[in-house]
Amino acid sequence: MTILFVIILTVITIIYWISRTRAFGQKPSGERLQRLKQSPHYKNGTFQNPQPTVLGIKGNAWTVMRRFFKRDPRKKPAHALPVVHPTQWTRPNDVLAVTWFGHSSYLLQIEGLNILVDPVFSERTSPFTWLGNKNFEGTGDFGVKDLPKLDVVIITHDHYDHLDYHTILQLVPRAPRFITPLGVGAHLESWGIPSSDIQELDWWQHIDIQPGMQLTATPARHFSGRAFNRNNTLWTSYVMKTSRCNLFIGGDSGYGAHFKEIGEKMGPFDLAILESGQYNEFWPDIHMMPEETVHAAADLQAKALLPVHWGKYVLSMHPWEEPPERVSAEIKQYNIELLTPMIGETIVLDQPNKTGAWWSRLK
């Protein structure tokens, strides 16, 4: 009986200690909670997907665990990834420039603004600095200190590989404006971002970032959660429309009818930035297979596709270079330009971009 009591007390202590970890953030409460309860997508205490979605594992959990933790040298590159180090950040106001930092972090330079999306510059995507797979060799060269002056930070959802506590702490002194889905602002406030610097959006709500630049939150098929709470904050994609271009910011999403709906309502798009990576047949509803990424770009009526969510962390079981290879094969059937920059490489829309299969040189 004494041993059982000690075990129970130990478990409770561990759970309490973990729950107090600042990196977990804060769940919505007070006025914020009342606001999100007014959302038509919030039902029975959680946010819901636009179509029926299996959030858990499809299949045997033990099989998944064995495959995930099985040593496989193909999951990581054998050599350091090639990285481009920008020498200057000044751009003409009449261009859209995108600089990818690996996984789903990238800088948009558009109409004189520097807009950072889902910044994660930590070694691991975890609430703890010692837990989780390390980033690929060479991909940790960039940090907040290397960025230009920022105007806006956009967050798509609160998972650790898109919202990083340690990166946000470094952004606090730079005091940019944050735009997030409903509820995510609670995390940011708990980390020191003033509420006046945070704007939260529901699907199909829009704001003007500046005159002539509109940002609309659009549906995604995914989920949220950082600690023991799931789906108490919203996940989203975005449409950024200016007088010169129309851009789709995808975040994380499984394939679904929402892409066609967004394309019909708000397309066509000059560029779609879509996830392609960390997929598996065990969770097909919440992450797209590479072929589905191309289909989503077609549904959106996109002229060009930039696949992200790969090239930095191991969060699934596929070979590290498989996502761009499968996208490259599938997109040949479509009249869509494929952009595959190296980490740190800047692409400029409507200008010749000589991106290619740089990953093939590392085999």
What is the pLDDT at residue 3?
56
H-helix or E-strand spanning residue 217: strand 213-218
The verdict on residue 52 lying in a domain is: no
The verdict on residue 357 lying in a domain is: yes
By C-alpha distance, which of 181, 195, 315 is closest to 249?
Answer: 181
Concatenate the DSSP letters of all residues of 138-206 into one string.
TGGG--GGGS---SEEE----STTTS-HHHHHHHGGG--EEEEETTTHHHHHHTT--GGGEEEE-TT-E
The verdict on residue 126 lying in a domain is: yes
What is the pLDDT at residue 56?
80
The verdict on residue 29 lying in a domain is: no
The verdict on residue 355 lying in a domain is: yes
CA distance 229 to 28: 11
How many C-beta atoms lie closer than 10 Å to residue 41's C-beta? 17
How many C-beta atoms lie closer than 10 Å to residue 38's C-beta? 9
By C-alpha distance, which of 361, 353, 290 is closest to 325?
Answer: 290
The verdict on residue 254 lying in a domain is: yes
What is the pLDDT at residue 18?
52
Enumerate residue ranges in the chain where pLDDT < 50. Answer: 1, 4-6, 9-17, 19
Q: What is the CATH number of the domain that holds 151?
A: 3.60.15.10
What is the pLDDT at residue 20?
55
CA distance 35 to 55: 25
The verdict on residue 116 lying in a domain is: yes
The verdict on residue 46 lying in a domain is: no
Long-range CB contacts (< 8 A, 24+ apart) of 126-133? Answer: 126/160, 127/21, 127/23, 127/24, 127/160, 127/165, 127/226, 127/227, 128/21, 128/23, 129/166, 133/313, 133/314, 133/315
**Tally of structural domains, the chain:** 1
Task: Pull the structure tokens for residue 155.
Answer: 């967050």
Q: Could you give the 3-state DSSP secondary structure of residue 73?
A: helix
What domain range includes position 149?
61-362
